[in-house]
A = this chain, B = another copy of it.
Amino acid sequence: MFEFNLLAECGGARAGEFVTPHGVIETPVFMPVGTQAAVKAMSPDELAEIGAHVILGNTYHLYLRPGAGIVAEAGGLHKFMGWSKAILTDSGGFQVFSLAALRKVTDDGVEFRSHVDGSAHFMTPELSIDVQEKLGSDIAMCFDECVKLPAEEAASRSAVERTLKWAQRCRERHSRADQALFGIAQGALFDGQRVECARRLIEIGFEGYAIGGLSVGESADEMYHTLDILEPELPKGSPRYLMGVGMPDNIIEAVSRGVDMFDCVLPTRNGRNGTLFTSEGSVNIKNAAYERDFSPIDAACECYACRNFSRAYIRHLHKAGEILASRLCTWHNLHFLINLTKRARAAIIDGTFRDFRARFLSSWHRNGADDVYIPGDA
């Protein structure tokens, strides 16, 4: 179970497959975020139609609402939400540190208050694993401590040490053989800390390795530098997951640095706000320029929204506050990212990834992207 097969390498990029109890995840892969047991605005059938192999669920949110007990009684998260392919759950760490009202962080765990109803909770590495085992995801994540950027070296060092202790406790607590456990490398922008954290995680031993603490305000070059530093450290035989990255150019640059897995709320949240990926950069469909534009969002796209509706119509739906606007734009953006990673994968297997990357980035930057992504709110 949880075999990772590396099928091809090309220009630093990798094509692989990660075998899970709920199907094979072909990598590189983008994972749509289904925070509260639903990918916002999408149905499970639609996610399958756009080719999603795996989606992400948020442990923090599901622990608070509806509660892991109810999900377990329903037969687990797959059955609860009607999704038969793979699910990765995060540990709740990022949300506890970004969404909740923090009370106290100790080596034991984190005391916080729910953003839903203000109730008091104490999250520990053990509880995070117990909740994820009850949810029954295919991939669980270690509970980690994230520091905000810019971070002091000592603060980051302290978070790294705590993250490693917690990783050990997560590994020891974890018991489901049908669930993989991934470690998370922290270390902010300190190369030495990053490398050390990765090495000590590998000593503990996980089914996959995630790079956390990025896409939280650093520059793209800083992100790419950290990936360059970590690439030779991470085992070739395990999947590598860059958490919270979802801009198309960032994904392609990270793929070229050996990353296999991605997740981000950007395509779904931006979709609801009317910001859409196209092969020539992103556009905001609410702009007056599209009032009488009867062409599709992206003529090169074959998603449901682009096959059936015009920019003028989708703009109208946004202006009128129609739910269908969020649906069509989310559908398009998720299709765009999933299709992008599929095309990257095919190019890696064909040995043409370098060309693919150059062509994609040139086209993407043609008109300039106008996205503003504020991380932290999953």
Q: Find chain B residues with CB under 8 A from A323 CB.
A: 40-41, 323, 326-327
Interface-side segment among A182-190, A310-318, A352-360: A310-318
Q: Which of A319-356 contact B (CB under 8 A)?
A: 319-320, 322-324, 326-328
How many A residues are at the interface, by size bracket?
A: 35 or more
A85 to chain B, nearest CB (A): 14
With A and B bound together, what is the CA distance between A320 and B63 in angstroms? Answer: 13
- What residues of chain B lie closer than 8 Å to A82, measured between beta carbons? 308-309, 313
How far apart sit A43 and B313, CA to CA, in the bound complex (Å)?
13
As a 0/1 sequence over residues 35 to 46 of chain A, the CB contacts with chain B under 8 angstroms (1 = contact) are 011101111110
A292 at the interface (CB under 8 A from B): yes
Q: How far is the CA of A34 from the CA of B38 in the complex (A)?
A: 25
| A312 and B40 contact, Cβ closer than 8 Å, known pairs A292-B73, A323-B323 | no
For A37, what are the chain B residues with a Cβ–Cβ distance below 8 Å?
A: 313, 316-317, 320
Contact check, A36 vs B308: say whether CB atoms are below 8 A apart: no
CB-based closest 6 A-B pairs: A36-B320, A41-B323, A66-B316, A38-B324, A82-B308, A38-B322
Residues of A within 8 A of B (CB): 36-38, 40-45, 61, 65-66, 70, 73-74, 80-82, 291-292, 294, 304, 308-310, 312-313, 315-317, 319-320, 322-324, 326-328
